Structure 1
């Protein structure tokens, strides 16, 4: 399980390494272009089944922490799905990998 660490607010979001790799590609591309946006995800039932969001801005430090080193090939369809979401007014909304049998969602904590 990797982490996206939003250092300015000391928030750590637990994300499986494979998902984090794909998110890093999309987030990195938007930030390199100087774009700010929301990143949102649905919370698990254990923490209320709500939704969480963080504001991502090129001036805010992010830290991507991977546990695994072999994450498999990039799923271009997934990157396109995430990128399309990120380009909409509501920002990047986490979506599971197409065709993957997972029911995981990111978990943020301070």
Structure 2
């Protein structure tokens, strides 16, 4: 499980490493282009379900921390789907990898 840390003090969001890598590609591409957007995800059941969102802009403090040391294979279809979402009026909505039997589990906790 990898983590995305946002802000100061940090909000910690946990994703599977593979999902986090795909999110990192989409998020850093948008920020490199100086585009601001909302990023939303569905909270894990252990947190009572629900949905969370953060606002990302080029000045956002982000830290991507991967548990594993191997770079996962990149699914271009998933990147395209996440990018399309990020470019929409509602912003980036995390969705499971196309064709995956079950989406990566998420957790959110402030530290």
Instruction: Give TM-score scaled by structure 2 length.
Output: 0.92
The structure 1 segments of at least 4 consecutive aligned residues displaced by more than 4 Å after TM superposition are: none
Determine if the alignment matches structure 1 residue 98 to structure 2 residue 75.
no
Determine if the alignment matches structure 1 residue 25 to structure 2 residue 25.
yes
8 Å Cα contact 1:41/1:105 also seen in 2: no
Q: Distance in 1 between matches of 2:97 and 2:109?
A: 23
Q: Distance in 2 between matches of 1:99 and 1:54?
A: 27
Q: Secondary structure at the match of 1:26?
A: helix
Stretches of structure 2 that go unaligned for 5 or more consecutive residues are none
Q: Distance in 1 between matches of 2:92 and 2:4?
A: 14
Match for residue 76 of structure 1?
76
Stretches of structure 1 that go unaligned for 5 or more consecutive residues are none
Structure 1 residues 105 and 93, CA, compared in 2 at 3 Å: closer, same or farther? farther
Equivalent pairs, count: 110
Taking only aligned residues, the RMSD between alpha carbons, in angstroms, comes to: 1.2
Determine if the alignment matches structure 1 residue 36 to structure 2 residue 45.
no
Match for residue 13 of structure 1?
13
Match for residue 89 of structure 1?
89
8 Å Cα contact 1:2/1:67 also seen in 2: yes
